[in-house]
Structure 1
Amino acid sequence: MKKGLLLLISFVFFVGIIAGCSGGVSETQGNEGDSESGSSGGDTLIVGLAGDPQTFNPDARADDFLYPIAQNVFSRLVKLNNNQEIIPDLAEKWEFNDDGTEITFHLNENVKWHDGKDFTSADVKFTLDSIKNNNGYAVSNLKSMEEVSTPDDNTVVIKLSNPDATFFGYLAWYATFILPEHVYSGENWDSGTNIEPIGTGPFKFSEYTTSVNVTLERNNEYFGQVPYVDRLVFSIIPDPNTLVQAFYNGEVDIFGGSPPSSEIEKMKNDPNIEGESKVWPSRQYLVFNFEKEPFNQLEVRQAIAYALNNVEIVSKAQKGDGQVAEHFLSPVYNWAITNEYKIPEYNPEKAKELLEQAGYTPDKNGNYLNITFDVFESGSNADMGTVIKDQLRQVGINVELNILEYATWQQKVKDNADFEMSMLGGYQGPDVGSISPRISSEGSNNLSLYKNTELDELLVKGAQLVTEEERAPIYQDIQRILAEDLPIYPISEWVGYSPVHSYVKGDPSSDEAIQSTGFSEYNYVKIEK
């Protein structure tokens, strides 16, 4: 790829050409500070938000309620759009050295912080060093980052300890927003919501009223597309039913995430509501405790897999919010997928045979096993748990389904490993290698406590190789091991659906916005009532 020819670069493409490539130039992403360009008559855009932000530092800790706000207040070097593509942000172009261990970013010039001070490469170095030194949320994602240098005010060079195909995607994802050193240095790094956020994004912070809203105003000095609306309000509505009703009533213009599964079809059939469904690398899957009976036995894990009918689970429990999982890796990374090692097909008789091979016989009630199944109360988890319980009953596995509050589930399952079978979801991107924390021996989300030296070595190798052609056989081997050992059992792929009213134009999924905005960034939105 020749330098400066593309507006955006997808991460899938990136890993295929990382050696010696250049990032695309963002051709004057918008009106570059033209205060007249965005105005549409003093409009206010209202977006739903399910809870209060915990902090106004988007890099300090995980905070999903801050994340959509942060995408409008702050900027990153590069960012992810709604197609899971990496596009320019503060960096207008970039290039890699020959072995992929050094990335040089060329920054947009004349960028201002919201308080009027100049943004420079020193702020990038401060941010990345602070994430590392203060144990910011992305610290493990950026572990291959060895050194950040700033040859001049508009250039940043990141040196990696080794080629790392996951690194560039992580820069574009979560908790890597560039922060002003003059605001967040010292004790202000993680100061909750006491420090007003100062960024370089399309909107400036205006006010925050706890449990009511966060209000932003248009940044007329934004280096990209100056927003069309004057104000962006995140309306905090924790109760999903209340949020749904507020959306139907027109009190919220953009729902702000996915609605309850029970409402999706109704919204899709409403001519006054628009939205696009997209498969994301986010999945629901079962985990088995390898250190407890009966799931320390392979035959039992296999029996569970053959007993489950993913089509029925998704149809009954997710109601349009999911897609049936068929592979051990997300289908978003189709270049890495092999059909040789797919998830076992539904076969209840095979499930019973495996239970008998494991040494179990049915009791007077016809049950081979009695197990506990712990899930946390969120989204469709409870409904999925109910369908799974019924399917396992049909092959002689009696399930005690425990539906827990998230904090209780985290303490019981994640912190104390006090469970037999559980269910987990979450984002497995922005690279195929992001599955590593969930299945590697020391992975932070390896709830199964599964250990396999060969798998660990393959995960490391897969992240260090350069091209898709080199990486694909590694991840096919990883799928082989997952099929053989079954530390996880994928059930469904998450299908994102973010409804907006039809009078909202230019949302982040739209043709006009998708090549320039993050997936919750609203500077291209116009309200046309």
Structure 2
Amino acid sequence: MAAAFVFSAGFSKTAFADEADKTTLVYGSTDYTRINPAMDEHCEINVLLFDGLTDHDGDNQIIPRLAKSWEYDEENLTYTFHLEEGVKWHDGEPFTAEDVKFTFEAIMDPANESENAPDYEDIESIEVIDEHTVAFHLSNVNTAFLEYMTKPVMPKHLLEGEDWQTSDFFRAPVGTGPYKFVSWDAGQTITMEKNEEYFAGAANIDTIVFKIVTDDNAKAMQLLSGELDLAQITPKEESLFADNDEFKVYDMTTSDYRGILYNFNNEYWQENADLIPAINYAIDRKAILDAVLLDKGEVAYGPLQRNKYNNENVEHYDYNLEKSAEIFEAAGCTQDADGYWCRNGERISFTINATLGDQVRIDMAQIAAQQLREAGLDVKADVPAGGIDWAGQECCIIGWGSPFDADDHTYKVFGTDKGANYSGYSNALVDEYLTQARQTEDENERKEAYAKFQEALAETPAYTFFCYIDALYAAENTIQGIDEDTVLGHHGVGIFWNICDWTIENQ
């Protein structure tokens, strides 16, 4: 299908509000190469264009969306969903159970290489009972199943026979959500207008423009200049808005953690993974939290600290250079004349990559590298101009988080060979405990399994955790309805969960 691309030389916010009574929200967004929630995730734009069978409310609890109700047959491990009737795709075609079956079978198909596939590996078959009823037959209990039904459903009539990685559809998507795609000015803007026929009730704001601003510092400047109405800002830029009557700053709790991801597919870490605990002890997390985030967050020691299944009794790897040195010595490392730790005659040396334009990650990489050099490791920080080479790098600053069910961003992130395990980490005990936690509905059994998972992960670390980040958003004070109490996901995703309730006053 043909994509609706629009190319222009400049950007003007007023161009999107030709009529006096029309409202437009301009959001400072990262760049997109495609909008493909079936294959990718953590994109703010998904919730505007698409719907899942289920959704989250402001307390991150599961609520109905495209499915108005459901039943679960415990004996046969079957979820049956009853769909909303009269829902239409943005092109006017009816939404049916066939779209649901088509979407999840595509995610599960190994040929499509979806990083989300591990969320659905317990699905044995999907049965269309009638136009508005669909059943999922599972092979095992998956307690997080309703959580994963929040994944956006895609239109069969537009994607059947298409390549799920390269189709033009993902540059001009058609969903059922509260906003319709209008145009994509490559590298500049993605424009959406409200869906007047949205089955859950039309939104108040007429037009939303995602203005592409890849540099954090530039977002702050464009907010102040009036080019943006809303954007995530860094803690160091908060002072620019805190005392400005034209803006409100939202300091929002997230499940979003940062740390060092080690590439275990790289030969260096295949030989030196046993040194990661020593590296962990050499990082002063509080110093990073204070210097980079100005204390807007929390020191991190594991992936579930903002989740009810967190095990606070695991090893925290608090800053301790003496313990670090003990581990290096026990591993047979010695210090050279310059004080650098060496193994087999070679310095412990690696590069920490950070994402171009992400000032928080850049600052963290630089401070961590400096701390490790002071601890006797030959470490550098780098910001690759061409983007991070996942396969070839030694390590990088990572961001993940589990704001919902604890299975989310643990099973597929730390499980061996799972879709979002970009580090290549593999630990048989971690696999065992994550599977146990997924396959039991008993709260106490899940708690015990997740506690053991965190203990195994801490003993053989996949990451060096730094801290959890508060998401700071600056918004023009004319915007009403933003829920500042919702716990956001990784990368601060989730602020648009109640977009239909937002209003803009006196625009």
CA contact (8 A) 1:455 1:481 kept: yes
* Offset at residue 289 of structure 1 (A): 5.7
Which consecutive residues of structure 1, in runs of 5 or more, have no partner in the other structure? 1-38, 414-418, 512-516
Structure 1 residues 304 and 100 mapped into 2: Cα distance closer, same or farther (>3 Å)? Answer: farther
Residue of structure 1 in register with 2:324 after alignment: 351
- Residue in 2 that maps onto 1:224: 200
Change (3 A) 1:401 1:127: closer
After superposition, where does 1:418-437 map in structure 2 within 5 Å?
419=394, 421-428=395-402, 430-433=404-407, 434-437=409-412
1:285 aligns with 2:259: yes
Distance change in 2, residues 1:498/1:147 (3 Å) = farther
1:43 matched to 2:23? The reply is yes
Q: Note the C-alpha offset of 1:510.
A: 7.4
Q: Quick check: 2:118–2:411 contact (8 Å CA) kept in 1? A: no
Q: 2:303 aligns with which of 323, 326, 329?
A: 329
Choose 295-304 or 137-146, whichever is displaced more. 295-304
- Aligned-partner Cα distance in 2 for 1:344–1:240: 30
**Cα distance in 1, alignment partners of residues 326 and 432 from structure 2:** 34
Tell me how far 1:162 sits from its aligned partner: 0.8
The residue correspondences of 1:362-381 to structure 2 (distance < 5 A) are 362-369=335-342, 370=347, 371-378=349-356, 379=358, 380-381=360-361
Aligned ranges 1:402-481 → 2 under 5 Å = 402-405=382-385, 407-413=387-393, 419=394, 421-428=395-402, 430-433=404-407, 434-446=409-421, 449-481=424-456
DSSP-derived class of the 2:387 partner: helix
3-state SS in 2 of match to 1:71 = helix
Provide the rounded CA distance (Å) in 2 between the counterparts of 1:523 and 1:289.
Answer: 41
1:54 aligns with 2:33: yes
Amino acid at match of 1:55: R
Summarize the Cα distance change of 1:375–1:471 in structure 2 as closer, same or farther, 3 Å threshold: same
Structure 2 alignment gaps of length 5 or more: 1-18, 487-492
Cα distance in 1 for residues equivalent to 2:454 and 2:501: 41
Cα distance change of structure 1 residues 76 and 396 upon mapping to structure 2, 3 Å threshold: same
- Describe the SS at the equivalent of 1:338: coil
Shift of 1:99: 5.1
Instruction: Report SS of the residue matched to 1:342.
Output: coil
Given candidates 166, 170, 173, the residue that maps to 1:197 is 173
2:333 aligned partner, one-letter code: Y
Q: Is the 8 A contact 1:279 1:496 kept in 2?
A: yes
Which residue of the other structure, out of 445, 466, 470, is the alignment partner of 1:495? 470
Q: Secondary structure at the match of 1:146?
A: strand
Task: Give yes or no for contact 1:288–1:295 (8 Å, CA) kept in 2.
Answer: no
Q: Which residue of 2 aligns with 1:119?
A: 95
Q: Deviations over 1:171-217 (max 9, x none)?
A: 22xxx322222222223755225874322221222333333322222
* Cα separation, 2, equivalents of 1:187 and 1:446: 26
Q: What is the letter of the counterpart of residue 216 of structure 2? A: P
CA contact (8 A) 1:80 1:519 kept: no
What's 1:262 paired with? Answer: 236
Contact 1:289-1:296 at 8 Å conserved across structures: no
Determine helix, strand or coil for the equivalent of 2:496.
Answer: coil
Q: Could you tell me how far apart the structure 2 residues matched to 1:360 and 1:70 are?
A: 49
1:398 to 368, 373, 378: 378
Aligned partners of 1:375, 1:79: CA distance in 2, in Å? 35
User: Residue by residue, what CA displacement relative to the aligned partner does 1:375-407 show, whole Å, maximum 9, x if unpaired?
Assistant: 133422221122222222333223233332463
Kindly tell me: are residues 358 and 184 of structure 1, through their superposed partners in 2, closer, same or farther at Cα, counting changes over 3 Å? closer
TM-score, structure 2 as length reference: 0.83
Rounded Cα–Cα distance in structure 2 between residues aligned with 1:199 and 1:441: 33
Q: Does 1:525 align with 2:498?
A: no
Q: CA deviation at 1:449?
A: 4.4
- Classify 1:132/1:358 alpha carbon distance in 2 versus 1 (closer, same or farther; 3 Å): closer
Residue 408 and residue 218 in structure 1: after superposition, are their counterparts in 2 closer, same or farther (change >3 A)?
closer
Deviates further, 70-79 or 234-243 = 234-243
Quote the residue 2:127 is aligned against. Answer: 149
Q: 1:342 aligns to what?
A: 315
Residue 12 of structure 2 aligns with which residue?
Answer: none
Q: Per-residue deviation at 1:281?
A: 2.8
Does the C-alpha gap of structure 1 residues 200 and 484 become closer, same or farther in structure 2, counting only changes over 3 Å?
Answer: closer
Q: Could you tell me which amino acid in structure 2 is paired with residue 339 of structure 1?
A: E
Q: Is the 8 A contact 1:283 1:330 kept in 2?
A: no
Count residues in correspondence.
469
Deviation by residue 1:96-140 (Cα, 9 ceiling, x = unmatched): 222582212222222222233322222222222233346263333
Instruction: Describe the shift of the 1:295–1:110 C-alpha distance in structure 2 as closer, same or farther (beyond 3 A).
Output: closer
| Mapping 1:5-20, distance limit 5 Å | none
Identity %: 26
Q: Secondary structure at the match of 2:278?
A: helix
* Normalised TM-score (structure 1): 0.79
**Whole-angstrom distance in 1 between the partners of 2:426 and 2:494:** 36
